[in-house]
Chain A
Amino acid sequence: MEEEQRLNIKKEKETWIDVDQFDVVLLGTNFIESILAGALARAGKSVLHLDKNSFYGGFDSSFTLSQLATLLEESKDVKDPIPPYLSNVIVTDNSKIFEEEERLEQERKDKEEQEEQERKRLEQEKEKQTEQQDTKDDETKGGEGEESKGEEQQQEQTPIVKKPIKKTLHELGRFFSIDLAPTLLYSRGSMVNLLISSSASKYLEFKSLDQNYLYAKNTLYNIPSTKGSIFKDSTFSLREKRLIMKFIETIRELTQPTENEQDKQEQEKKLEELNSKHDGNFLKLVKSFGMTELVESFVLYGLSLIHENLESISLKQGVESVQLYVSSLLVYGTSPFLVPYYGCGDIPQAFCRLCAVYGGTYVLQRSVESLSFDENNILQGIKCTEGQPIKTKYFIASPAYVKTLDTQNTYPTITKRYSRFIGITNKKLNNTLEQSFITLPPNTCSNKNVINILQLDSICVPYLKGKTLYHFTTLSEGESTAEEDLKSSVDNFFANNTQEATSTDKPRLEWSSYFNFTFETLTNDIKEKNVLNKDGGVLVCSDSPIGSTIDYASQLEEAKKLFEYICPNEIFLEKVPEPEDIVWGEAQ
């Protein structure tokens, strides 16, 4: 008994960590922490990466339907939350009603079918009887034989005809991967480039979207993917098409990659000219083309995908955004966008795996209780919720953790809030391709800000058989709730009950939720300070800064800056040699 106890104590010690010194400790496995962990381990730093949750990614994770429902339900009870958090949660689950309706409908159909069969059988019998009456009495026996055979056959057939039991939404939902904050990746964007250059892409699978749309004047306009498709398009007038092409050509000339020094100088000169002509403002540049209202929103909301504070977007930013869009076309598919097959939550996991492969230690369900500093306010180490203290030079976490753990120093942040809607329907929107991205410019459905809609089916989301998943995202200002921000656009596209769905031919919402997503980010200014401020080894990184739900450029930049601070002069996520390229036991 004593022996057993001793062994148990020994075991407990062993299950906690046998190393008590690391170069870097990170808390939280969200995007920035995970990318950073991968980069640091790759550069040879010893890394301990913790997360208080039992899963990777925190709010950047992808959830099954039941996990999502639980998470939303739990968010309702949180009083005075600190970011990141979900609020104003409304969940509507009509799936059972629809499934019951479908079952009754099926029963009715089955009954009709049965009656039809019965009617046919009786008719046949009648015919036979008439035939039999025509024939002689001694042949009747044979007729009976045939009839009983027919019955037998029918009896055999009945169980085969029985349809397989349809899985309910919640049964299928066990395998869904739904993002709280889905993000599209440009095929030629910085995240895809990094995934390729670091070879972390081997841990992920991607799907290409089919089509992007602009919703204006109650019409879905294709945002064309090629020159050819612009000219085939029937929604724009010839003059409008010329304007679009002229704009794209101008951008292309400005940004075409070139090796030639002279061409490069030429490009820079042109950009400089435009810059001074339009006060470095993108909106002014667009206005100078004299476009119609429709073409203008097409360019501002369809081709450029930075929409926040439209008036203050710099010419350079806007041009780069359009250039990124155009150069990402036809890389992996007709749309410029990719989505990770199992949700965006797999991206941080890919970098965590990379970190682990390079010796990083991972412990889930473990948080940091306190930090210790010396008399000069320099970090000495951390203490976890259990186990021995751990020495470390750097501690990195998101604002919420750092603010509670390090009260001696101040870490100013800004809070951002998005309104979100997630819906699962029985079918896709009419006249759209399956995997689509739809942009709603301001004031289309009494919306103040741009609304982004992502439509995905089982091609992009595994196990979503026969259903379509929708994400609506818009920046939320002031105190407005997600429902206030998004309800009119949601009602514009979807039906809430079967009656409405039948009369309007709209997809029917089977499960849906409105919620606000609030998180903290560092402003660019603070980001600089964070890196320059040698405040003794405690570094802050933003919460899931989903930006405008397009690409991860800002997260990457932040991770890179923190990396360069810790590892100056080292390569950020150098390519990992392919396993097939490693030659075992052979000298060069």
Chain B
Amino acid sequence: MACCGGSGNNAQPTFNDRKSTSYLHLFKYIMVGDSAIGKSNLLLQFVDKRFTPNSEFTIGVEFGSRSINVNNKQIKLQIWDTAGQEKFRSITRAYYRGAVCAMICYDITRRDTFESLTSWLSDCRKFSCGDVTIVLIGNKTDLDSNRQVSTQEAKEFAEKNNLLFFETSAKTGHNVDLAFEKSAELVLEKLQKNPELNGNNVSVD
């Protein structure tokens, strides 16, 4: 697999630049789904517009943030990665806490990752408190020739379970921004109806 980042290696934006941006809301997003379906790469593509092929999960990196504009409001998305704990289905409950949006991902070229969705979905509903927005992500559309899960089937699954649905490619960046933006819109809408969704607590630091 050749390296094919969305942008070159030079003149990349830094996380420091984004730190100074002021924002109205901070949304905690979590990524779930089986191992090796590109969750970390989706995160990196969205946050940093890059793609690392054959990446072992990245040591020391656990979430990325990016500010986006939703209905003229500045929203900071903080996207949490599983830190490899999904490998033996051993994600901490604490990971789910306070998340307003969960992205449940599968690999369109691996049927087994689609079969796991039901149990990921039930974990999300069980461990995330309140009205969490759930997005279904079928990743790796760049490998469409090896597809094992049809768009139609996934769409039906999403409709049945009341999920947003996107097919993406973390490699080319296809639909990645859209998935985050559309879900953020929905979260914001829910938040405006029920401001309690995103409670504030003492953080010690």
Which A residues fall within an 8 A CB radius of B?
A: 15, 55-56, 175, 187, 192, 195-196, 199, 201-208, 332-333, 338, 341-342, 346, 349-350, 352-353, 356-359, 361-364, 366, 462-463, 576-577, 579-586
Contact = CB atoms under 8 A, between A and B. Distances in A.
A206 B14 contact: no
Contacts of A199: 205
B71 interface: no
Nearest to B78: A579
A202 B95 CA distance: 11
A205 B201 contact: yes
B64 A579 contact: yes
B97 interface: yes
Given A206-B203, A579-B65, A585-B12, A56 B93 contact: yes
A188 to B, nearest CB: 10
A362 B85 CA distance: 6
A55 B63 CA distance: 23
A349 B92 contact: yes
Nearest to A586: B14
A582 B15 contact: yes
Contacts of B12: 584-586
B94 interface: yes
Contacts of B15: 579-584
Interface residues of B, number: 36
A332 B201 CA distance: 11
A580 B10 CA distance: 19
Residue among A15, A204, A358 with max Cβ neighbours from chain B (10 Å): A204
Residue among A199, A205, A576 with max Cβ neighbours from chain B (10 Å): A205
B25 interface: no
Contacts of B65: 579-580
Given A201-B205, A353-B95, 6 more contacts: A206-B201, A346-B93, A358-B59, A362-B84, A583-B14, A584-B50
Contact of A352 (B14, B48, B61, B92): B92
B88 A356 contact: no
Contacts of B129: 175, 462-463
Contact of A581 (B16, B95, B201): B16
Contacts of A55: 93
Residue among A207, A350, A353 with max Cβ neighbours from chain B (10 Å): A353
A195 B204 contact: yes
Nearest to B8: A585
Nearest to B89: A364
Contacts of B202: 205-208, 332-333, 338
B182 interface: no
11 contacts: A202-B203, A205-B97, A353-B62, A353-B85, A353-B94, A357-B60, A357-B83, A358-B60, A361-B84, A362-B84, A584-B50
